[in-house]
A and B are shown apart, each in its own frame.
Chain A
Amino acid sequence: MDLTTFLIQLLNALQYGLLLFLVASGLTLIFGIMGIINLAHGSFYMMGAYMAFALTSATGNLFVAILLGIVLSALIGFLLEWGLFSRLYKRDHLDQVLLTYGLILMFEEIRSMIVGDDVHGVRIPEMLSASVQLSETLSYPVYRLFMSAVCIVLAVLMYWLIRHTRLGMMIRAGSSNREMVQSLGINIDLIYRLVFALGVTLAAFAGMLAAPVSSVYPGMGNQVLIICFVVVVIGGVGSVWGALVAALLIGLADTFGKVIIPDFAGLTVYLLMAVVLLWRPEGIFRRI
């Protein structure tokens, strides 16, 4: 591997890792704060990607599509929490596993009924379709740099939201003692609903962002879901910081695995997980 290939792969790894973080952070928020196991998280990612496709075809502009998609997915998240998840907080984790498994089947078929089972592409907007010359031998697509930049901005925003705002303080307090926060006169139900909607929107947004690069296909959500689980397991459940580190590690393992051992590319990520678990059964970092 020469230096240019290495650098390109490194950028790809970072970009993939950051995108993965965006999806996984939603998962870890929903579990870490609300204590809900959400297997349907990958479905939200798929939903986002298909929204990007359908809304771009309808409006002709990816940015408009993304804005509409964000509003729609936040609304869907809000309604799901209100109608289904809010009734399950006191129940066993198994019920949550079962509910979200049912939702996966429903989402997959709703997608199939609305847009069919074809694979689609989404055009990269004109202004981001060029490549930049990073050095004499190294040119890199602008859109991928844009994706990474957006992910980094969102990661910082999320850190700020949880650590330095009043809402973040209430969220953190609610995750450790729900009743206490409620008795202080804070509407914890509404806060949870918002956190859930935020988690759903993060996953859907990641799907929208990835659509032009990865194309849009049935089953894409499940693939992402499993990798997200690995991210959460490696990083430590409920740790946003851990999710970032783990997602970047996985980005590296996956991208370079495909170059170095192409025959078993699917395995590298899981090997990484096995090694980390032997070392630390509860992930690298714990809690928020």
Chain B
Amino acid sequence: MSSAIKTSRGALLATLLVLSIFPLFGSDYYSELLTKIMIMAIFAMSLDLLVGFTGLVSFGHAAFFGIAAYAVVLVSPQYDPASLWLVLPAAVLAAAVAAFVIGLFVLRTKGIYFIMVTLAFAQMIYFVFHDSPLGGGSDGVFINFKPELRIGETQLLDLGNAAHFYYVVLLLLVATYVFLRILLRSPLGHALAGIKSNEHRMLSLGFPVFLYKLAGFVIAGALAGVAGFLSACQFGFVTPEILSWHQSGNVLLMVILGGIGTLNGAAIGAFAFVVLQEVFSALTKHWQFLMGTVIVLVVMLLPGGLSSLTQRVRRMLVGGGSNG
């Protein structure tokens, strides 16, 4: 057990090392791709807090990602870069508030209802931005100047600068990971795990289950907001598609693909998804067909996701019994 923890800690440190020196050696193209993967990893980990650790399968997580992205647009001045001090908290707060309000509704439901109701609420937000002129309607809107960080007259960070942006994303990825690790070990994290395994028992033990679930939902929403903020900054424009149900489906896919209930799994899933998308779309216009095929094959042949693959291979080599 302890050696397994040691190897995973070693792998983590190695990953961190590679990530932190990558831009010095890798080409711009790959650095940008990696930035995108890291953003998606934050997004996937935020959803895993709900799906993997609390047992709440949300199919509307893109709502919070999208709301934060739109908050960046609405808070940024038109002819000047916005201040990072202002725009990041604003985006995260917007996502958290939305998660609070939506959570009040959706957390009254369970199981299959929860899946469908989160989807329907996210779709409602989609229509708000799609049909109203608030964020440019269905065409979306550009962010003319990327946010920056200033102290007095000196500019410390410019998110328009690819290198600056890369390290901001990396920093926030590490922060999210550490935050979730601490959270999962906290009393709140244990309560959420208890809710996942037996909600009725938690209720009869006197835990305010609804409040705990709401807290988890708001935190997950806020972290999705961090990813949404970064995504808006990376691409420089925001369209309603970023809060469409495809986006919710994709992030759920990353979590399940990687293996639910482990933060590393969510990150691996995000990596696999973005890379597959990149490879397939270079191959054919109909890349979604290949993506769909991979998804179907993973479900049918690999219950437990990609992170279970190493275990399976090891078991196969050792020659132990297979499980199917």
Most buried by A among B112, B245, B300: B112
Q: Residues of A within 8 Å of B, CB-based: how many?
A: 46
- 0 or 1 for each of A75-103: is its CB under 8 Å from B? (1 = yes): 00000000010011001011101110111
Min CB gap A137→B, angstroms:
32
Min CB gap B105→A, angstroms:
6
Q: Is A187 an interface residue (CB 8 A)?
A: no
Q: Residues of B within 8 Å of A, CB-based: how many?
A: 41
Chain B residue at minimal CB-CB distance from A266: B127
Contact: B132 with A104, CB < 8 Å? Answer: no
Chain B residue at minimal CB-CB distance from A104: B292
Residues of chain A with a CB closer than 8 A to B51's CB:
94
**Which of B105, B128, B130, B295 is within 8 Å of A101, CB to CB?**
B295
- 0 or 1 for each of A94-136: is its CB under 8 Å from B? (1 = yes): 1101110111111111101100000000000000000000000
**What is the bound-complex CA distance between A204 and B51, given in angstroms?**
32
Q: Is A278 an interface residue (CB 8 A)?
A: yes
Q: Is A265 an interface residue (CB 8 A)?
A: yes
Chain B residue at minimal CB-CB distance from A101: B249
Main secondary structure of the interface of B (DSSP, over half): helix
Residues of chain A with a CB closer than 8 A to B113's CB:
233, 237, 281-283
Contact: B124 with A99, CB < 8 Å? Answer: no
**Which of A98, A271, A283 is within 8 Å of B256, CB to CB?**
A98
Residues of chain B with a CB closer than 8 A to A87's CB:
300
Residues of chain A with a CB closer than 8 A to B286's CB:
109, 112-113
**What is the bound-complex CA distance between A28 and B256, given in angstroms?**
25
Known: A87-B300, A265-B131, A274-B105. A98 touches B253 (CB 8 A): yes
Q: Is A6 an interface residue (CB 8 A)?
A: no
Min CB gap B272→A, angstroms:
14
Q: Is B193 an interface residue (CB 8 A)?
A: no
Q: Is A229 an interface residue (CB 8 A)?
A: yes
Contact: B289 with A106, CB < 8 Å? Answer: yes
Additional 18 contacts, C-beta under 8 A, given A105-B295, A226-B123, A263-B132: A84-B296, A94-B51, A97-B59, A98-B252, A99-B295, A101-B252, A102-B295, A106-B289, A109-B289, A109-B292, A229-B120, A233-B117, A233-B120, A264-B128, A264-B131, A266-B130, A278-B105, A282-B109
Of the A-B pairs whose beta carbons lie under 8 Å apart in the complex, a sample of 24, sorted by A's number, is A84-B300, A93-B111, A97-B256, A98-B298, A99-B295, A102-B292, A103-B296, A106-B289, A106-B296, A107-B292, A113-B286, A113-B289, A226-B119, A226-B120, A229-B119, A229-B120, A230-B120, A264-B127, A266-B131, A270-B123, A277-B108, A278-B108, A281-B113, A282-B113
